[in-house]
Amino acid sequence: MTSKKNNESRISRIFSFNNLSISLTILWPVIFVLIPFAILTTISFLVYDDVNFFKMQFTLENYKRLVKDDYLPVLLNSLVPSLITTIITLVISYPLTFFITRKFSKKTQKFLIFLVIIPYWTSSLLRSYGIRIILGTEGILNTILIHLKIISAPLEIIYTPTAVIVGFVYLLIPLMILPLYSTMEKLDSRLIEAAYDLKASKLQTFLKVIWPLTLPGVTVGSFMVFLPSMGMFYVADILGGAKSILIGNLVKGQFLEVRNWPMGATLNTLILVFLLLFLLIYKEKSHWGHK
C-alpha cells in the first residue's frame, strides 16, 4: 500500500460525509457503551445497600472480596469452556465453510449459509431445551445409540460440563461460520491453483496461501464466539444443571439474587480488565488492523 495518499482523495469523494461519519462512529459507543459502563464501574467502588442497591460511599472492599472469596479462580475456570468452545467451533466451521465456498455455485453457497442462520430465528432458550431432550439419559441420542448397539448403557451427558460445551457450540457456531464465509467467499481459487502449479503440497498451500488469507475471518469469528460465551449463563443452568459456576452466573447471582449491585459491577469490571489485558497481548502479537 504505497500510493495511499493519492487514493485517499478519490475515496473521500465518494464518501464526503467522512467527518460526520467519524463523529457518529465515536458518539454512539461513547453515549451507549462508555457512559453506562462508566456508571457501572463507579458503582463497583460504592458500598452495598440493602434498600437502595448502593450507598454513595467509596470503598475497595468489593475488590478485596475478589481475592478473599476466591472469585479469581472462577474467572480462570470459566475461560476453559469458552476456549474449548472456540476451538471446537473453529475446527468444525473452518473445513466445512471452506468446502461450501469451493464446491458449490454462488447461489447454492448463499442458500447453505442461510440454512445455518434459519434455526437461530427461533428462541435459543427453546433450542437449549431441545438439546436437553436430545441429550437426556432417556433422550433421543441415547435411544438411537442403544438401538444401533453402539453403546449398552445410556450415556450420562446431560447436567455435565460436556453438555454445557455442546450447548455453547450449538448456540455460537453461526458467529464463526458467518465471518469465515465472508473471507473465504472472496478467496481467489486461482491463487490456490497457482500454488499447486508451483508444486506446493496440500499442507504448504494451506499454511502459506489459504490460512493467511482467511486469518481475518478466523480472528473475527473467534472473538465473536469466545467473548459472548464468557457471559452466557443460562446454558450452564439449563444444560449443566446449574452445578458449575461460570463468571456469567456469578455476575447474574450478585445482580439478580442478592441485589448486590456493587459486587456484580466489580465482577463485571474484573471481566473487562481481563478483556483489556487480552487485547493488549493480542495487539502486541499481531497488530490488530494492520498488515
Partner 1 sequence: MKFFTLLITLSTLFSFATTIVTTTMAATTTHTSQDKVVYFYNWTEYLPDDVIKDFEKETGIKVIYSTYDNNEAMYAKIKMQKENPYDIVVPSGYFVKKMVEAKLLQKIDQKKLNNFKNLDPDLLNKSFDPKNQYTIPYFWGSTVIAVNKTKIDPNQIKSFKDLWKKEFKNKVLLLNDMREVFFISLKTLKLNGNTKNESEIKKAYENLLQLKPNIKAFDSDSPKTAFLAGEVAIGAIWNGEIFQAMKENRDISYIIPKEGAFFYLDNLAIPYNARNVENAYKLINFILRADIAKRIAMAVGYASPNLAARKLLPKEIANNPLIYPEKNLVKSGDFQDDVGDALQIYQRYFEKLKL
Partner 2 sequence: MNAPSKNQMPSLSIRKHTIAFFSLLLLYIFLYMPLLVMVIFSFNNSRFSPTWKGFTFKWYQLLLENSNILEASLNSLIIALASSTLATLLGSISAYALYQHKHNGKSDTKTKNTILSLMFIVMVSPDIALALALFIFFNLIHINLGFTSLLLSHITFSLPYVITLVYARLKDFNKHIIDAAFDLGATPFQTFTKIIWPLIAPAIISSWFLALTISIDDVIVSFFVTGPDFEILPIKIYSLLKLGINPQINALMTIIFAITLLSSIIYYRFTKEQD
Which parts of this chain interact with partner 1 (CB under 8 A)? Answer: 48, 50-53, 69-70, 73-74, 132-133, 136-139, 156, 158-159, 237-238, 241-245, 250, 253-260
Q: Is 162 in the site for partner 2 (CB under 8 A)?
A: no
Residue 137: which of partner 1, partner 2, none does it interact with, CB under 5 to 8 A by kind? partner 1
Q: Is 25 in the site for partner 2 (CB under 8 A)?
A: yes
The β-bridge relationship of strands 53-58 and 46-49 is antiparallel
* Near partner 2 by CB under 8 A: residue from 79, 84, 87, 119: 119
Of 258 and 276, which CB lies nearer to partner 1 in the complex structure?
258
Rounded CA-CA distance 76/96 in Å is 31
Residue 52: which of partner 2, partner 1, none does it interact with, CB under 5 to 8 A by kind? partner 1
The answer to whether the CB of 79 falls within 8 A of the CB of 230 is: yes
Which residue in 79, 33, 40, 88 sits closest to 230, CA to CA? 79
CB of 256 to partner 1, least distance (A): 5
Residue 70: which of partner 2, partner 1, none does it interact with, CB under 5 to 8 A by kind? partner 1
Of 68 and 290, which CB lies nearer to partner 2 in the complex structure?
290
Q: Is 145 in the site for partner 2 (CB under 8 A)?
A: no
Of 81 and 179, which CB lies nearer to partner 2 in the complex structure?
179
Q: Is 13 in the site for partner 2 (CB under 8 A)?
A: yes
Q: Is 68 in the site for partner 2 (CB under 8 A)?
A: no
Residue 72: which of partner 2, partner 1, none does it interact with, CB under 5 to 8 A by kind? none
Residue 216: which of partner 1, partner 2, none does it interact with, CB under 5 to 8 A by kind? partner 2
Rounded CA-CA distance 94/91 in Å is 6
Stretch of 55-63, 64-72, 149-157, 249-257 lying at the interface with partner 2 (CB under 8 A): 249-257
* Near partner 2 by CB under 8 A: residue from 191, 207, 276, 277: 276
Of 89 and 269, which CB lies nearer to partner 1 in the complex structure?
269
Residue 25: which of partner 1, partner 2, none does it interact with, CB under 5 to 8 A by kind? partner 2
The Cβ-side half-sphere exposure at 163, using a 13 Å CA radius, reads: 28
